[in-house]
Amino acid sequence: MVAADTSTTDTETTDTEAPTTTAGTTLIAVEPSASVAEPALTPVTTAAGAGIAAASWDYSPLVDHLSLDAVTDARMQAPNPAVIRIPRLGVEASIIPLGLQDDGSIEIPENPDEAGWWLGGPEPGEIGPAVILGHVDSQEEGPAVFFDLRYMKAGDEIHVDRVDGSTVSYVVDFLESHDKDEFPTDAVYGPTEQPTLRLVTCGGDFDFGVRTYEENVIVFASLA
């Protein structure tokens, strides 16, 4: 573990958490079709960068696999997330939407006490992986919103309050750490047949040469 006062603001270290994509590419493209040519979900396009790839996914196979109603449900616009609560860690933080920067990487919150939701993916509660990013620490302020994320365990609860006052609750399935140049893009951003949640922050040792953490900590969770 690297002490907070030995690192820079995580803004400089979390850009590799976000998928890099070409213009016009989104991670989730839900367009049901009457004809099904593939037996499973497949990426339509992929653009690699900084060790992370982004893909536009073809959901048409779900027409047969999950029924047309389920695919239609996947297209429904759920309310945006507003607050994330993780009781065991004592986390309660606002969530802001994250778009793309000019270089194609996902934006990251400027405030280390805020989390950010990748708006190119599903809203929490929709079919597919809702992805929420957060800083681990800040040189100016010390521990940030996801500082203790590495201590989460299977069975821990995560609650996402949405702008309409509703709440979506998840239970942690497992936690992984990966070198940033081996980020598991498909596992994090790829489609799932049920609503899921991924929390991502920095972890591992701090590389003072490039002023970045060497790993990403990723929490995988399913609906409670």
* Residue 88: predicted pLDDT: 96
Cα–Cα distance for residue pair 223/78, rounded to 1 Å: 15
pTM exceeds 0.85: no
In this predicted structure, the answer to whether residue 83 has a pLDDT above a threshold of 80 is yes
* Residue 69: predicted pLDDT: 52
Indicate the SS3 state at residue 61: coil
Q: Which of 7-11, 188-192, 216-220 has the lowest mean pLDDT?
A: 7-11
- Residue 55 and residue 189 in contact, taking contact as beta carbons nearer than 8 Å: yes
Dump pLDDT digits (tens) for 186-199: 999 999 999 999 99
- Residue 188 and residue 199 in contact, taking contact as beta carbons nearer than 8 Å: no
Q: Which domain holds residue 111?
A: 4-223
Dump pLDDT digits (tens) for 148-197: 999 999 999 999 999 999 999 999 999 999 998 888 989 999 999 999 99
- Residue 95 and residue 83 in contact, taking contact as beta carbons nearer than 8 Å: yes
* Residue 108: predicted pLDDT: 85
Percent of the chain predicted with pLDDT > 70: 66
What CATH number does the domain containing 107 carry?
2.40.260.10
Band (29; pLDDT cuts 50, 70, 90): very low
Residues 3-7: what's their mean pLDDT?
Answer: 35
- Both tokens of 28, joined, read 């989730």
Percent of the chain predicted with pLDDT > 90: 48
Q: How many domains, the chain?
A: 1
* Residue 76: predicted pLDDT: 58
Cα–Cα distance for residue pair 147/117, rounded to 1 Å: 17
| Residues with Cβ within 8 Å of residue 179, at least 6 apart in sequence | 204, 214, 215
* Residue 17: predicted pLDDT: 39
